Structure 1
Amino acid sequence: MQSLRKLYKIGHGPSSSHTMGPGFAASYVKEKHKNATRYVVTLYNSLALTGKGHLTDAIIEQTLSPIPVEFKFNIDIKQHPNFFVFEVYHNETLIDTVSVRSIGGGDILYDNEENHIEMIYPHQSFDEIKAYCKKEELDLYTYVKRFEGPTIDTFLNEIWTQLQKTVETGLKTEGVLPGDLKVQRKAKTLMDRAKTTETDAQRQNRLVSAYAFAASEENGAGGIIVTAPTCGASGVLPAVLYYMKHHHQMSDQKIIESLAVAGIIGNIIKTNATISGAVGGCQAEVGSACSMAAAAHAYLSDLEIEQIEYAAEIAMEHHLGLTCDPIDGYVQIPCIERNAVAGIRAINASGLSEFLTDTRKISFDMIVHTMYQTGLDMHPKYKETAEAGMAYFYKQKK
C-alpha cells in the first residue's frame, strides 16, 4: 500500500476526482509544454456529464491560463469513467496528446507515460495487517509509524490542523453556496440548535451533523479541505474527530493517532477496491469515509484491533449499494447531508463493535471486496453522472 501522504491531501474542493486530479494533470501538462499556444481538452463520461458542476473545466482553464483552452465533452463507455485528454498545440501543430485517468482521492494515472507509485507497506489486506500486528505486538498506530517513519506524526498534525480549520470556517460562514441550486448553508443553524437540545443523544447528533455540514459546505463552496478519502466525503471524518476532541476531551496526539488508524482503513479500500464515486458509487466515497471514521472512533474508545475492524466493517456494510446521484452535478445535494448521516453512523458502528465483535461473521476484507463488486455491477447512470436517481427526478420536476 502507498503512504498515508498519498491518501490525505489538502486542497480546494469540490471534488478530488473532478477538480483536484484534473488540476494536478493540467499543471503537469503546462510544465511539460512551456511552448504551447493552445489546448484542446476532451472530458469523457462522468467528467463530461458532471464536470461543470464539479468545476472541472474551471480548474483546468485556471491552471493553464493564460493559454486558451477549448473543451469538448464525450461519452465512451470503453474508457475509464473519469478519462480526459489534453491535445497540446504550438500554433496549428499538434505537439503532444496526454491521456489521463482520475482514479479518486486526487490521484491520477497517465496513459502511455510512466506512473511512479511507491508502495511502503508490505501488506495489502486487513487480515495481513492484523496478523502482523499480533505477531509483533503492535497496535495499528504503531504499525503505521513503523513503515511511515517518525515524521508521519508531523504530517498527520498538519492534516488535523486543516481539518479543524475547515470545520471552524464552515461553522461561522453563512449564506448561499455557489451554483444554480442556491443551497443555503446550514452548519451554523445546526450548531445553534445543538445548544438547546434536551438529551445527550440529540445533542451528539446535532453537533456531529453541524461539524459534518461545516466541512462539507466548505467543500461545496470550493474551500480548503482534506481528502478523507475524497472531497465529496470530506465531512465525515473531521465531524467525528472534532466532536471527540471538544466533547470527550481527546488530546490532539490521540486524534493524530486515530488519523493513522483511519488512514489504514482508507488505504485498504483504495488498494483493493475504489474510493471513486464514478467507479463505485457513493458507497465508495461516503461509505469509505464512514469506515475510516468508525475505525478512528473505535481507536479513540480504546477498543482492540478486532473491534476496530468490526466497526469499519459495519460502517461499510450499511452503505452497500449507495448510489452517487449529485443534482445538477454539484457536490451539494445529497452529498452534504449524506456526510452528516455517515458521521452519526460511524459513531454507532463503533458502539456496536464494542459489544458484538465476538459474534461477527463478516470480515472487513470481505466487505471491501463486496463493495467493489457491487460498484462494478451498479448501472453506470448511478455513478456520478447526474442522469439517474434524485438527479433525474429533480431535473424532471424543474
Structure 2
Amino acid sequence: MTVYVSALELFSIGIGPSSSHTVGPMRAARRFASALEDRGLLADVTHVTCVLCGSLAATGVGHGTPDAVVAGLAGLEPETCDPDDVHGAWASATGHGALTLAGGPTVSFDTSDITFEPRTRMPEHPNALILRAYTCDRSAHDRGAAPAFEQTWFSIGGGFVRLKEESTTDEPATADEPATATKPAAATDDEPRADEWAYSNAAELLSLCAREGIDMCDVAWRAELRARSAADVRSGLDAIWLAMHGSVERGLVTGIRELPGGLHVPRRAAAMRERLEAAPADLPDLAGEWMRAFALAVNEENAAGGRVVTAPTNGAAGILPAVLEYHMRFNPRATDADVQRFLLTAAAVGGILKANASISGAEGGCQAEVGSACAMAAAGLCAVLGGTPAQVENAAEIAVEHHLGLTCDPVGGLVQIPCIERNAIASSTAVSAARLALNGDGRHIVPLDVAIETMRQTGADMSDMYKETSAAGLAVNVVEC
C-alpha cells in the first residue's frame, strides 16, 4: 500500500489560524450536517451540541475552534468561505440564539451547546470532537434524552479528519476532494499496475525511483493520475501555488499593524518589505532576507485567520510558500515547471511523514508540523535545483533531524508566538538542508526513514503538556514573566 497523499489534499486551500483546530473541525461539522440530511433527520433537528476534547478544548478558543464548528454546521467550507463569515460565528449564533443548519432548519443555539473538556483525551487522537443532534426540546435534553444522531470526529492534522469508527481501518483520512476531479482511464497492459508504484517509506520510494530511472516527482505524478486527469492535477497545482503566492502578497502589504487575540503581537512583514525594497542591491543575503519576510507574511495572514494553504498544516503554512517564492523570484533559471516539480516532490515526502510519524502538533509536537514542512520544502528545493532522488532524500533527512524534539507550546493558545518566527527560521533551514545535500552525493549515515521513526518515538514520549495544549514551555513562562 502506498503512503502517497495527493498534493491536492495535502496542500488544501483553507483559512487560519489552524488546520487541525479550525479547518478540520469545520470540515467535521459540515460533514455531520450532511450526514443528518442523508439520514432524513435534518428537518426534525431542534438543536445540536459539540464537545471539544483534549487539545481542541485546551486551545480551542485561541485557535477559533468554536467559530469553525458553528460555521461548518452552517454549511461553510474552508476552501470557499469568506474568512470574515467564520470569525465571530460562535458569538453571532449565541447572540441570535439560533443557528441555521446547512440546507436545513434554523435551530436554537446556546453558549452551552459547545463545551470544553481539555482533560478528556481519546486514545485514537488528542484532537476529538463529539457532535450530537437532538429532535426533542431542551427540557427533555436536560432530563437526559438521548441524541437522535451522534458522531465522534478526530482532526488528525493538516485539515484531515476521520470518524471514530474509521480509526481502526486502513482507509486513509482525506480532506474534501475538489469537485472538479475526474477519473482517468484505466491503465493499459503496457503501463505499470498500481501496486508496482506503491511505497510505504523513503527507502522503497528511492528503490522505485532507481528501478524506473525517474525522480520522486514522477512517482508522485503517476500516483496523482490514478485519481484525477492530468488537466485536473495541473490546474489543482496551479491553484495551490496561486493561493500560496496570494498569501505572501497579502501579508507583505497589509496595513493592519497588530494581530488579533490579545497578545498585541505586531505584524512585521509589511515593514520588512519596505526596508528590503529600500535596501541596496548588494546587501548580504538579500534573497534570504526576502524569503524570511515571505514566511512571516504567510504566517501573519494565518494568525489573522486569512486565506492560506495547509502546507502541510497551518501552523507551518509559511515554510513551503516562502522557499518556493524565494526560488521563483531569485533563481534566474527558475521556470513555471519548477512549481509542479517542487510541490509533487514535497507531497511524496509529506505522505511518508504523515503515515509513519505525524503532521499533527497535538500528536507529535511542533517537530511534526514545522519539522515536516521544513523537510518537504528542503526536498522540493533540492529537486528543482537538480538533485538526484538520493540527494532529495538526504535534504529531507537533514531537515527532520534538526527539528527533532521541537515542542508545540503556543502562547495564549494562539498561532503567533513562537509559531510565526519559527516558520521564518525553518525556511532558512530548508534552504541550508537542500544545499548541503546538493554538495554531497546522496550517501549519508542516517536514512530519512530512521529520522522519521525517531520523530514518531520522540512525539510518543513527549509530555502532553508540550503538544499544543499551551500547558508548558513558552506558553506558561512568557505569561509568568
Q: TM-score range by the shorter chain?
A: over 0.9
Q: Compute the TM-score of the two structures, normalised by the length of structure 1.
A: 0.95
The partner residue of 1:178 within 235, 252, 260 is 260
1:158 aligns with 2:239: yes
The answer (yes or no) to whether the contact 2:388–2:442 under 8 Å persists in 1 is no
For residue 135 of structure 1, what is the amino acid of its counterpart?
R
The partner residue of 2:120 within 45, 70, 76 is 76
The partner residue of 2:19 within 16, 36, 41 is 16
- Secondary structure at the counterpart of residue 61 of structure 2: coil
Q: What's the offset of the Cα at 1:6?
A: 2.2
Partner of 2:311: 228
Q: What's the offset of the Cα at 1:25?
A: 0.7
For residue 273 of structure 2, what is the amino acid of its counterpart?
M
**CA 1:178–1:76 in structure 2 vs 1: closer, same or farther (change >3 Å)?**
same
The partner residue of 1:98 within 135, 145, 151 is 151
The more displaced of 277-286 and 153-162 is 153-162
- Secondary structure at the counterpart of residue 52 of structure 1: helix
Extract unaligned runs of 5+ from structure 1.
Answer: none
1:117 aligns with 2:172: yes
- State the distance in 1 between where 2:261 and 2:396 align: 34
The answer (yes or no) to whether the contact 2:25–2:72 under 8 Å persists in 1 is no
Partner of 2:103: none
Q: What's the offset of the Cα at 1:12?
A: 0.8
- State the distance in 1 between where 2:10 and 2:296 align: 22
Q: How many residue pairs align between the two structures?
A: 397
Q: What's the offset of the Cα at 1:78?
A: 4.4
| Residue pairs, 1:346-365, within 5 angstroms | 346-357=430-441, 360-365=444-449
- State the distance in 1 between where 2:457 and 2:345 align: 25
- Secondary structure at the counterpart of residue 149 of structure 2: strand
The more displaced of 383-392 and 134-143 is 134-143
| Residue pairs, 1:1-398, within 5 angstroms | 1=3, 2-33=5-36, 34=42, 35-64=44-73, 65-66=99-100, 67=107, 68=109, 70-74=113-117, 75-79=119-123, 80-92=125-137, 93=145, 94-112=147-165, 117=172, 122-149=198-225, 150-151=230-231, 152-174=233-255, 175-195=257-277, 196=279, 201-249=284-332, 250-357=334-441, 360-397=444-481
- State the distance in 2 between where 1:359 and 1:6 align: 31
- State the distance in 2 between where 1:222 and 1:30 align: 23
**CA 1:173–1:265 in structure 2 vs 1: closer, same or farther (change >3 Å)?**
same
- State the distance in 2 between where 1:241 and 1:60 align: 32
For residue 231 of structure 1, what is the amino acid of its counterpart?
N
Q: Compute the TM-score of the two structures, normalised by the length of structure 2.
A: 0.79
Q: What's the offset of the Cα at 1:394?
A: 1.8
- Secondary structure at the counterpart of residue 303 of structure 1: coil
- Secondary structure at the counterpart of residue 274 of structure 1: coil
- State the distance in 1 between where 2:372 and 2:304 align: 22
Task: Please report the RMSD computed on the Cα atoms of aligned residues, expressed in angstroms.
Answer: 1.8
- Secondary structure at the counterpart of residue 198 of structure 2: coil
Q: 1:232-289 CA distances to partner (integer Å, 9 max, x unpaired)?
A: 1000000010111111131222122111001111111011110000000000000000
The answer (yes or no) to whether the contact 2:390–2:443 under 8 Å persists in 1 is no
- Secondary structure at the counterpart of residue 129 of structure 2: strand
Identical residues among aligned pairs (%): 39
**CA 1:200–1:347 in structure 2 vs 1: closer, same or farther (change >3 Å)?**
farther
- State the distance in 2 between where 1:359 and 1:9 align: 33
For residue 182 of structure 1, what is the amino acid of its counterpart?
H
- State the distance in 2 between where 1:366 and 1:307 align: 16
Q: What's the offset of the Cα at 1:124?
A: 1.2
The more displaced of 77-86 and 194-203 is 194-203
Q: What's the offset of the Cα at 1:198?
A: 7.0
- Secondary structure at the counterpart of residue 148 of structure 2: strand
Q: 1:323-355 CA distances to partner (integer Å, 9 max, x unpaired)?
A: 000011000111011000000110011111112
Q: What's the offset of the Cα at 1:193?
A: 2.5
For residue 29 of structure 1, what is the amino acid of its counterpart?
F
Q: What's the offset of the Cα at 1:32?
A: 2.1
The more displaced of 232-241 and 69-78 is 69-78
For residue 250 of structure 2, what is the amino acid of its counterpart?
T
- State the distance in 1 between where 2:297 and 2:260 align: 15
Q: 1:42-70 CA distances to partner (integer Å, 9 max, x unpaired)?
A: 11111111010000011112332334251
The answer (yes or no) to whether the contact 1:10–1:162 under 8 Å persists in 2 is yes
The answer (yes or no) to whether the contact 1:190–1:209 under 8 Å persists in 2 is no
Q: What's the offset of the Cα at 1:299?
A: 1.0
The answer (yes or no) to whether the contact 2:19–2:157 under 8 Å persists in 1 is yes
Q: What's the offset of the Cα at 1:158?
A: 1.1
